[in-house]
Every structure is written in structure tokens, then in C-alpha cells.
Amino acid sequence: MGLEPQPALTRYGCSSVVIVSYRPGDWLETCIRSVIDQSDEVILVDNGSPNGLASAVAAPSGVTVVRSRRNLGFAGGVNLGMSKATGSVVALLNDDASAPAGWLAAATRVLEDESIAAVGPKVLLSGWFREVVLPDRVWYAPGDERPLGRQIRSVRVDGEEVLGRLVGPGLHKLEVQGGDRWRWTAGPLPFYVPVREADVNVTVDGDPAPPGQLCRVTNSAGIYLRADGYAGDIGMGSADDGRWDGGADRFGVSFTAVAFRRATWDRLGPLARRYFAYYEDVDWCWRAQLAGLRIRYDPTVAVSHLWSATSGGVTGTGVRVLSESNRSLTIVRNAPRPLVMNHLRDRWGEISRRTDGGVGVRLARRLPWALATRASTQRRIWSSEPEEVWSAWAGRGAEWSMAPGGMV
């Protein structure tokens, strides 16, 4: 059993773009402008934005506005927008992303191959970055497996503090305790400082930063599936130095920007509404793989993304609870049964030790639904066994060079 053959499309078919917005900033208008001339219709889902702000921003552009009284999460907002879309090709674009001319046309050409369920572009972080490599020695703190260098407490660009906006493998996450903020370096690996132009003054803890190249930084070149069930963005935090310029099949693509046939969406089903946010794109792409379809990465054009500009109204601990519980639900709904059992056993161990931070409570409430939808999806669309998909993709593309590699 599987999906029925679908008719080939031409690049002149009717197309729609769906944009979901909860807390719009200046980026929403930029997002809309970037696609309004690329598609037959643009649908803006005002996902319960405060005082209808998203609707007010979108209305002058003439796009179709669909307003929800409450925040449905990314998954629910996309599903609402899809219920109104009329295109035979439909694209999703984050409200903090912008697509260059030709994005949707290029995606439509790829989708003329009926074996492809969805296609995603290269996604780059917006703006330019200065590459910085500090000559730090690597050491390991007792009980900490992270390679550490030294604490950085300040990175400034022409006097402006940007410590929380740095990306790349050379730095660990921002840590905050009381009024102190710092980041650990990860040895002599690069990190990237957002800059407006090449000729700026970059300092690290008050000292001039070593010279570095100006580059764009990769947000996603597709999605990998790790051997433990974690999924992530290929190339995340690496310089856009040409290594991600070749098209390829992927396990998945980020729904920051994605296009698919409407017929494929209808057969595979909508995003998992109960996820609210996080892992819904991984779950949908996994479903496509189980249906015997392909997911394509096409870097013909690059979409720019203001990473973390919006978060659907979820911050801090809530992000972790949603992400971790949704990862577990995605494994339950799609992975080989032995992996499901092993994963749940490990998860319950965390719950019993009270180290899960509330993930288990949310997971337990949704586990019956995940098991029931696995069974129904298996009957309806699976044409490949979970073991086949796992064998083909688990661990593939999950590692890449962390060496410096910026380019102007």
C-alpha cells in the first residue's frame, strides 16, 4: 500500500504561499514582499497575535488574512492556512524569513518529479558575519564532556554587545547566573559575529578579535536523523563556503521554507497539531519516507532567515519540554518498534529519576494518541517498513567539518 501516482505539474500551475505569524516584527512585511509576486495567492495566518498585529501588518499588501483568536502553535497555524490554500503547489515560509525571486518557480520545477514529496532550499542566517577563531587550548572540566576553552563574557561590534547572537561551533550556549552572562569557547573552532559591514571593530572581552573573513552562515541544508532519533539541521552554524551547493535527497528539510504538491499534503496528512511547535517538520518528512517518497534539498536559491526572531510564544523551559516530548512522539509514530521500546524505556528512566523537567508528563498524555495514529498511518500510507527508512537515513549527514571556511 502507498500513495497513488500523482499527475505531473508544470511550473505554470496555480501556487500558494502560507505564512504563519504570532509575534510579528518588521520582518513580516519583508517576508510578504518577498513572495507576493512569486505566487498566485499568499495566505497570512494571524495566529492569535496580540491585538491582531499580524493582520494589521499584512492587510495593506492585499494578501488573504486568516485570523485565529488564539495561538494554535506552528503546526495548528500551518494546518489552518492549508485549509484555505487553493494552489496545486503550496509553499510554507516562516514570517521571519525572506525568499529571493525565483524560489517558488525553482521549487515547482523540482516537484514535477512525482516521486518527490517536498523540496526545501538552502536556508542562510540573515545578514553577514565575521569569522573569529581564538587560539584557545581545549580542556575538559570534571564531569563535563564538552570540550572547553575559556569563558567569554563580552563580544562587541562597534561597541554593541552581541554575546547572545553569536553562532558557530566555536562557542557553547549562553549561560546566565544572577547578573552574569558568559559563553565557553570550544577550543580553536570558528564562531561567527553578526556585522553590518566588513570594516567594523570587533572585540572579545575588550581585546581586538583576530582577523577573520566576512561570510554568510548556514541555517539549514536539509535535516539529518541521528542514530539516537535526534534530528537537526545539516550545516547549522557553518560558513556558506560552497559545501552545501549541490542538490541532494535528504531525510527531511526544514519547514522554515518548503514546497510540496497539494495532493501529496492531502494524502500524507497535515502537521501533527498536538505538537504545537518543534519536530512537526521532522514527523511529516518521516511520514513521507515511510510512504516511499523522496525529500529533496535544492540550493538553486537561498532563503534568508532571522534565526530565533520568533518562537511561537514559547521560551526557556517550555521550548525544551516541547522539543523533547515531540521528539519522543515522533519516534513512537515512525521509528522501528525495537527503537521505540528502547527509547521509551530510557525516557521512563529519566522520569523516575525526576531529571526530565516535565517532559514525561506531556509525553504520557499524548502517548495513546501517538500509538493510535501510528497504526492508522501505517494502514493508510506506509509502503516502506520503518527498518528500511531507518537503515537508509539514521546517522547519514549528521556530521560535517567544523574547520574555518568563511568566504567573502
Angle at 148 between CA 146 and CA 154, to 5 degrees: 125
The predicted model gives 62-86 an average pLDDT of: 97
Q: For residue 179, what pLDDT is reported? A: 86
Q: 355: pLDDT confidence band, cut at 50, 70 and 90? A: low
Please determine, for residue 408, whether its predicted confidence score (pLDDT) is greater than 70.
Answer: no
Q: For residue 186, what pLDDT is reported? A: 87
**Is 85 a member of any domain?**
no
- d(C-alpha 125, C-alpha 97), whole Å: 9
Q: For residue 1, what pLDDT is reported? A: 42
Q: Are strands 248-250 and 294-305 parallel, antiparallel or unpaired?
A: antiparallel
* Lowest-pLDDT choice from 1-10, 80-89, 166-175, 398-407: 1-10
The predicted model gives 102-123 an average pLDDT of: 97
Q: 310: pLDDT confidence band, cut at 50, 70 and 90? A: low
Q: For residue 143, what pLDDT is reported? A: 74
Mean pLDDT for all residues in the chain:
90
The predicted model gives 102-109 an average pLDDT of: 96
Q: 312: pLDDT confidence band, cut at 50, 70 and 90? A: very low
* Per-residue exposure over 163-189, b if at least 16 CB sit within 10 Å of its own CB, e if not: bebbbbbbbbeeeeeeeeebbbbbbbb
**Is 300 a member of any domain?**
no
**Is 345 a member of any domain?**
yes
Residues in the chain: 408
**Is 283 a member of any domain?**
no
* Per-residue exposure over 223-247, b if at least 16 CB sit within 10 Å of its own CB, e if not: bbbeeebebebbbbbbbbbeebeee
Please determine, for residue 384, whether its predicted confidence score (pLDDT) is greater than 90.
Answer: yes
Q: 4: pLDDT confidence band, cut at 50, 70 and 90? A: very low
Q: Which of 193, 215, 237 is the last residue of a domain?
A: 215
- d(C-alpha 248, C-alpha 94), whole Å: 23
The predicted model gives 308-325 an average pLDDT of: 68
Q: For residue 405, what pLDDT is reported? A: 62
**Is 313 a member of any domain?**
no
- All residues at 6 or more sequence positions from 69 whose CB lies less than 8 Å from its CB, including other chains: 48
Helix (H, G, I), strand (E, B) or coil at 369: helix
* Lowest-pLDDT choice from 177-181, 298-302, 376-380: 177-181
Q: What is the pLDDT of residues 332-353, one digit of tens each?
A: 999 999 999 999 998 887 766 6
**Is 162 a member of any domain?**
yes
**Is 368 a member of any domain?**
yes
Q: For residue 53, what pLDDT is reported? A: 96
- Beta carbons of 257 and 280 less than 8 angstroms apart: no
Report how many domains make up the chain.
Answer: 2
Burial classification of residue 258, based on how many CB atoms lie within 10 Å of its CB (0-12 exposed, 13-18 middle, 19 or more buried): buried
Please determine, for residue 313, whether its predicted confidence score (pLDDT) is greater than 60.
Answer: no
Helix (H, G, I), strand (E, B) or coil at 152: strand
Q: Which residue has the higher pLDDT, 315 or 395?
A: 395
Q: Which residue has the higher pLDDT, 224 or 14?
A: 224
* Domain range for 164: 128-215
**Is 121 a member of any domain?**
no
Please determine, for residue 6, whether its predicted confidence score (pLDDT) is greater than 90.
Answer: no
